Amino acid sequence: MFLKWQLQKHLRTFAQQPQEEQARLVSRLSEDFPLKPFLRALQNEACREAAITILGRIEKAEILFQLFEVSEAENDPALRSALIEAFSSSPVFTADQHLIALLRSRDPQIRSFAFERLRRQGRPATFPLLRQMLFDRSGWHSLEEAAQLAFELGGEGAVDILAGLLDDDDPKFRLSLLRLLGRLESDEALEPLHHALKDPDPKCRIEALR
């Protein structure tokens, strides 16, 4: 295991090392990743660029996800930007379960990154995972973004997710869900729209009629 000072020494000289030495360091970090020291390295301006480069070469998405989880307790914009750059450069950080978890981040930049990558990938498997994670609404900082993602992906899965959120206590959120359901122009959306005619909020009832 690397100590903090050892890791930072390697990172400061990483760009000057031969490719063989760089590959050896990446391999070593892949097998025994120093989570907390690496997080501090991402916060260190002198080490940040090399740290991001290494994260892009590590072929274990779980390491990036662990960094994200630890970083949620940090209030450091530079760290978040570094993580987004690492996520973007990683060819392995594409699993839906990781990206949907990022949608729950308290940081809007990280949520935006996850939203765009999930939207571009557009895989059918996204829907059941998204639905499963939405069952626990307490962990979300923006349910609106999850609903918008379902709408962007479209199809029956979108109707299922949007309709499943219509029991939310917030009438403004229910109103936005009804607008998305209406824009889907899907026969499957007719039933939840009809049910919303009994919504306690008058604006929601009017939207359901449109």
pLDDT, tens digit, 9 for 90 and up, residues 74-109 = 888 888 889 899 988 888 888 888 888 888 888 888
147 within a domain of the structure (yes/no): no
190 within a domain of the structure (yes/no): no
Q: Are 62 and 90 in contact (CB under 8 A)?
A: no
**How far does the chain reach from its first CA to its final CA, in angstroms?**
62
134 within a domain of the structure (yes/no): no
162 within a domain of the structure (yes/no): no
Whether the pLDDT of residue 50 is over 80: the answer is yes
Number of domains in the chain: 1
Q: Are 142 and 105 in contact (CB under 8 A)?
A: no
The domain of 24 spans 1-92
Q: How far is CA 55 from CA 26, 38, 88, 201, in A?
A: 8, 10, 10, 49
pLDDT, tens digit, 9 for 90 and up, residues 151-171 = 888 877 889 889 989 998 999
Mean pLDDT estimate for the chain: 88
CB within 8 A of 183, min separation 6: which ones? 151
Evaluate if pTM is beyond 0.85: no
